[in-house]
Copies of this chain bind each other. A is one copy, B any other.
Amino acid sequence: MSAETPYFGPAYEYEIDPAFRPSFLNLERDAPSLPVQPGIVIRPVLGQRLNMNFVYFEPRTVAPVHQHREEQLGTILEGSLQFELAGETRTLRPGDVYVVPPDVPHGAVTGEEGCIVLDVFSPPREGLRELVERAGDQGSAEV
């Protein structure tokens, strides 16, 4: 990313791992829609070292304060919510990001408007792969 490691660096030999293939997905078509709490549905996309969860909050919905071992970054895609992180609460909108190190308590509440959030986790959120497998294949369009 410096002159020595440019962002778009030179090519090198590679092989595709049959257990982890490149793929294109459309969220509505390919990602399962999983209810995790009244008023909250997630659409997960799984990698091996990380995963995305697109999180759809209805208005006046509570994601209770909780903790997990995985590191989490998140951002607001649409709408707004009140986000509580380590005891401090902020109103977040598109353009806002939160950084949740492992084990740090966090939660969220929506008001009169709903909210769509994108959360990313590393490693993938515990138990998520099993939940997706129970819901059916990820249905990705492998290339």
Contacts and interface: CB of A to CB of B under 8 A. Distances in A.
A60 interface: no
Contacts of A130: 1-2
Contacts of A17: 101
A26 B120 contact: no
Interface in A53-75: 63-68, 71, 73, 75
A96 B25 contact: yes
Contact of A47 (B63, B71, B88): B71
Interface string A1-22: 1100101110110111100111
A73 to B, nearest CB: 5
B22 A47 contact: no
Given A14-B105, A22-B85, A24-B96, A9 B66 contact: yes
A24 B90 contact: yes
A17 B92 CA distance: 24
